[in-house]
């Protein structure tokens, strides 16, 4: 079992920045993929970014490339999502997720572990 707890969300004006954090505990290991998803009201949950727990491979959805950065601190069992140049369309609940193995997938159902989510609201 892996437990995930997100923090760092909030209300920010367009163009602002936030750093989302995900604390992982339990049976974490080097062969995990960590990801950030988001879900806006009335929309499906979508992947934002992902990173392998070992190595440097990352993934970003097109709409956030150049604005968001995913990173990890293995020693602290933390995963971060730095979100810059925020837009009102970035407003959503952001979830941290984990899956075993090395494959980075965009489908939410392929991730076994989820946090409770943190709200990001961007005002125009």
Mean pLDDT of 77-98: 97
Write the CA distances from 19 to 39, 42, 97, integer angstroms: 17, 25, 16
* Of 60, 120, 67, 68, nearest in space to 94 by CA: 120
* Residue 93 phi, psi (nearest 5): -90, 130
Predicted confidence (pLDDT) at residue 29 exceeds the cutoff of 90: no
Q: Report percent pLDDT > 90 for the chain.
A: 86
For residue 55, what pLDDT is reported? 77
Mean pLDDT of 82-93: 98
Looking at every residue in the chain, the average pLDDT score rounds to 95
For residue 27, what pLDDT is reported? 76
Q: Which helix (H) or strand (E) holds 37?
A: strand 32-39
Mean pLDDT of 74-88: 96
């Amino acid at each position: 079992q892996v437990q995930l707890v997100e923090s760092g969300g909030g209300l920010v004006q367009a163009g602002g920045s936030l750093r989302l954090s995900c604390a992982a505990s339990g049976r974490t290991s080097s062969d995990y993929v960590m990801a950030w998803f988001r879900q806006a009201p009335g929309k499906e949950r979508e992947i934002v970014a992902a990173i392998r727990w070992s190595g440097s491979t990352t993934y970003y959805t097109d709409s956030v490339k150049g604005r968001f950065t995913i990173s990890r601190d293995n020693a602290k069992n933390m995963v971060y999502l730095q979100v810059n140049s925020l837009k009102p369309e970035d407003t959503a609940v952001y979830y941290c997720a984990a899956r075993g193995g090395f494959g980075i997938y965009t489908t939410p159902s392929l991730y076994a572990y989820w946090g409770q989510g943190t709200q990001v609201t961007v005002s125009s």
